[in-house]
Amino acid sequence: MIISNGLPLHGECCGIGYSITCNICQKEITGTYSVDYWGNCFHTEHSKEYPKCEYCGRIISKSMTKGSKKYDDGRDICSICLALTINTINARSIQQCYEIVSNIFGYYGITLDKNIPIKLSNKQELKDLQQKRKSNDVLGLASGDEVYILTGMPIVLFIKVLAHELMHVWTYRNCPNIKDMNSRLCEGTANLASYLTLIQIKDNYAKLFIDSLMNDPDKIYGDGFRLALQRYKRAGMKKYLQMLKQYNDFY
C-alpha cells in the first residue's frame, strides 16, 4: 500500500511494482507521469488541461483539491489553500501573525515596535500604492510606517510577506542611510527575515516558500537574499544588523 492519509507520500513511493492511480482522473497510470510538491501523482497531460493553484502549485481539480475559487482579480486558489487564508473575515488573525513574527524576530535580536499598522489590500490598491516599482506581482509593501498585504493568501505566505515588510519598517526606523541603501541589500535583508521566520515554522507550506526564496532568479530579491544569508551565516545577526546600520551595500 502506498497511500498514507489518502495521499501518496513521495514520488519514489509511487514507483515500480505498484499500480499507480492518477490523483486527478482516478485512472491507472501506465506511462510516464508527474509528481507535484505534495506527492500527488498524475498524468502529465493534466497540467495543460487545468489551472494550477497560485499558492501551492497543485493542479486544480475536483478530486485533488476539491475545486477552487477564482478571486475577482483573477487569482485561482484551490480549496485547500482557501481554507487557510487570511482575509477581511478573519482579520483578527493578523494580530496573531504579527505576534508570531515579532516573537521570531525577537529570537534573532530584532526588536519591532508595537504600533505598526497592518492593512489588508486587494491587488489594485497595492498596485496604486507601489507607484514607481514595475512589479506586477506585488504581495505586500511597506509604505512609510505602514504595512500593506494582499488579502486572501494562505496564512504561511501571509507570514512570509509580513516578515519581509516588517523588516523594511525596522530598516526605515533604525538605519540612517536607508535613502542611499542599495536595493540588493534592502530586499535581500527583507527576504532574509522571511527566511529566518519560515525556518521556525514546521509546515510543508513553509518549506515550499523557502524553496522559492532559495531558487528566486531575480537579481535584487534572489541574489540579494543569497548574499544576505551568506553574510548572516558567517557573521551572525548582531554583526549583520551593524552592517545594515553603517553601510549602503554588502561590504
Residues that bind Zn ion (CB under 5 A): 22, 24-25, 43, 53, 55-56, 78, 81, 187, 190
| Min dist. Cβ of residue 150 to Zn ion (A) | 13
Q: Residue 43 or residue 184: which is nearer to Zn ion going by CB? A: 43
| Min dist. Cβ of residue 29 to Zn ion (A) | 7
Distance CA 98, CA 114 (A): 9
Task: Please write down the long-range contacts of 3-8, taking CB distance under 8 Å and 24 or more positions apart.
Answer: 7/38, 7/39, 7/40, 8/35, 8/39, 8/40, 8/41
| Min dist. Cβ of residue 190 to Zn ion (A) | 4
| Min dist. Cβ of residue 232 to Zn ion (A) | 17
Cell digits of residue 80: 485547500
Q: Residue 83 or residue 91: which is nearer to Zn ion going by CB? A: 83
Distance CA 59, CA 8 (A): 15
| Min dist. Cβ of residue 35 to Zn ion (A) | 13
Q: Does residue 147 sit in helix, strand or coil?
A: strand
Q: Residue 120 or residue 152: which is nearer to Zn ion going by CB? A: 152
Q: Residue 168 or residue 231: which is nearer to Zn ion going by CB? A: 168
Question: CA angle 80-81-86, nearest 5°?
Answer: 135
User: Per residue in 195-216, is it b (16+ CB within 10 Å) or e — as a string?
Assistant: bbbbeebeeebbebbbeebeeb
Please give the helix or strand (H or E) that residue 40 lies within, else none.
none
Q: Residue 101 or residue 190: which is nearer to Zn ion going by CB? A: 190
